Amino acid sequence: SQKIEQNSEALNIQEGKTATLTCNYTNYSPAYLQWYRQDPGRGPVFLLLIRENEKEKRKERLKVTFDTTLKQSLFHITASQPADSATYLCALFKAAGNKLTFGGGTRVLVKP
């Protein structure tokens, strides 16, 4: 069966440091992996998309990597700020029926 797993433990990090989040998946091929940010009581907001044939994508202070051998994506927030505190969700897409499925999410807390 298909699975998407994220570290369920909250990540506490000091302002200015790099936060690294992990998303592992099984039985998705081809994989188009997306990362979303969700603040409490609000809908997820799209951040980045990376395809199976791409190794790395960047957007401002965000970087996503993709290792198809390990079936793993890493999401980095560099020079983290308290405003980056949120839950970060990875999501995978299945072409049959346009199915977008989320991992469990990782809560990030950036302390000043």
Partner 1 sequence: DTEVTQTPKHLVMGMTNKKSLKCEQHMGHRAMYWYKQKAKKPPELMFVYSYEKLSINESVPSRFSPECPNSSLLNLHLHALQPEDSALYLCASSLPPAGLNTEAFFGQGTRLTVV
Q: List interacting residues with partner 1 (CB under 8 A).
A: 32, 34, 41-46, 49, 89, 91-95, 97-105
Give me the least distance between CB of 32 and partner 1, in Å please: 4
47-60 b/e (C-beta count within 10 Å ≥ 16 → b) = bbebeeeeeebeee
Side chain identity at residue 83, one-letter code: A
CB neighbours of residue 31 within 10 Å:
18
β-strands 106-111, 11-14: how paired?
parallel
Give me the least distance between CB of 107 and partner 1, in Å please: 8
Nearer to partner 1, 86 or 103 (CB): 103
Give me the least distance between CB of 73 and partner 1, in Å please: 14
